[in-house]
Amino acid sequence: MAAEIDSSITQPRGRAPAFGLRLSASYLMIPMLAFLAYFFFYPALRLLFSSIQTQNSQGIVGPPYTLEHYTRLLNVDLYARVFWNTLRMSVITSLIATILAYPVAIVMVKSRPMVTRIITLIVIAPLIVSVVVRGYGWQLILTNGPKGLLNWLLMSLGIVDAPLSILYTEAAVIIGSLHVFYPMMVLPLASALGKIDPNLEDAARMLGAPWWKVFLRVTLPLSLPGFVAGFTIVFSLTAGSFVIPAILGGASAIMLGNLIEQQIFVVYDWPFGAAIALILVAVVFAVNGFSMWLLEGRRLRRPA
């Protein structure tokens, strides 16, 4: 009888602190939710309503509501070209970053600790410098004409006879974007490669598989989470970039970020600029959702 009384007394006392901790944790989320609601969700809702409104001749935005701004991006040839160019340059940048990142990430993982620290420092060192400074640095390197550093070097070595026209092209934007976002591909890949059991690759080599087949059949599938994460990050950042296309692309390689800036600050067409921004956000969310679905499907297909 005494044991039953003791258990009835101690049981509620044991549950109360756990409930109190959960309640305290819920209170701690309130500042974060308030911050996100005011600085993220509220502007996003205003952007959504602005994109379906109409701007009259006096510049006043309001009813009637329409979806014309969304169809205008794809129906007008100039804007559609900017949209598809943005997607193409983002995919190309991500693919090149992947090809260049795999060797560096493999060396980072398989080298001695001192070499790994040095390579990591080299990879992340450009992040200390502003994107604007790096953009103008590449502008000096890629300057058209014999005074550009790249053209001067190529002509001095006798590789080309005439200076190349690289600046203010899509190639210049891709080169600048690679330099800016390359660490975002290397670091996730290195993290994924570091989790692979080296015995699996050694076993494949002992069974007679060449290095390229070991990479395709063992290393690449097991490093897929890092590849997908890095590809998604580089694609998203490249698609939404503004500084690099503005400095290196000029008027010949405009991306959606530059088009949004022109529509809002030059043309003062706020509804169309809001529609472009929402389409860009939708594309980025779609790519991120597809990558999450791909990783989740791979995890579910993995044998227990």
Q: Alpha-carbon distance 240 to 251, whole Å? A: 17
**Residue 170 located in a structural domain:** yes
Q: Alpha-carbon distance 220 to 228, whole Å? A: 11
**Share above pLDDT 90 across residues of the chain, in percent, rounded to a whole number:** 25
Q: Alpha-carbon distance 240 to 280, whole Å? A: 7
252 and 108, same structural domain?
A: yes
151 and 31, same structural domain?
A: no
77 and 36, same structural domain?
A: no
300 pLDDT band, cuts 50/70/90, is low
172 pLDDT band, cuts 50/70/90, is very high
Count of domains for the chain: 2
pLDDT at position 10: 47
234, 181 contact by CB (below 8 A): yes
**Residue 49 located in a structural domain:** no
260, 271 contact by CB (below 8 A): no
**Residue 87 located in a structural domain:** yes
pLDDT digits (tens, 9 = 90+) for 116-146: 899 889 988 888 888 999 999 999 998 888 8
Element (H, E) at 61: strand 61-62
Once rounded to an integer, what is the mean pLDDT over residues 68-92? Answer: 90
**Residue 60 located in a structural domain:** no
pLDDT at position 9: 44
pLDDT at position 289: 87
pLDDT at position 144: 85
293 pLDDT band, cuts 50/70/90, is confident
> Does residue 54 have a pLDDT over 50?
yes
90 pLDDT band, cuts 50/70/90, is very high
110 and 238, same structural domain?
A: yes
145 and 11, same structural domain?
A: no
252 and 118, same structural domain?
A: yes
197 and 158, same structural domain?
A: yes
**Residue 295 located in a structural domain:** yes
Q: What is the mean pLDDT of the chain?
A: 84
150, 164 contact by CB (below 8 A): yes
**Residue 50 located in a structural domain:** no
Q: Which domain holds residue 89?
A: 73-301
Once rounded to an integer, what is the mean pLDDT over residues 32-55? Answer: 85
89 and 31, same structural domain?
A: no
25 pLDDT band, cuts 50/70/90, is low
14 and 94, same structural domain?
A: no
169 and 130, same structural domain?
A: yes
102 and 7, same structural domain?
A: no
**Residue 65 located in a structural domain:** no
For the record, the structure tokens of 11 come out as 């049981």
**Residue 158 located in a structural domain:** yes
53 pLDDT band, cuts 50/70/90, is confident
The CATH number of residue 124's host domain is 1.10.3720.10
Q: List 54's β-bridge partners, or say none.
A: 62
pLDDT at position 38: 86
For the record, the structure tokens of 262 come out as 């022109």
241 and 107, same structural domain?
A: yes
Once rounded to an integer, what is the mean pLDDT over residues 168-176? Answer: 92
pLDDT digits (tens, 9 = 90+) for 173-208: 999 999 999 999 999 999 999 888 888 888 888 888
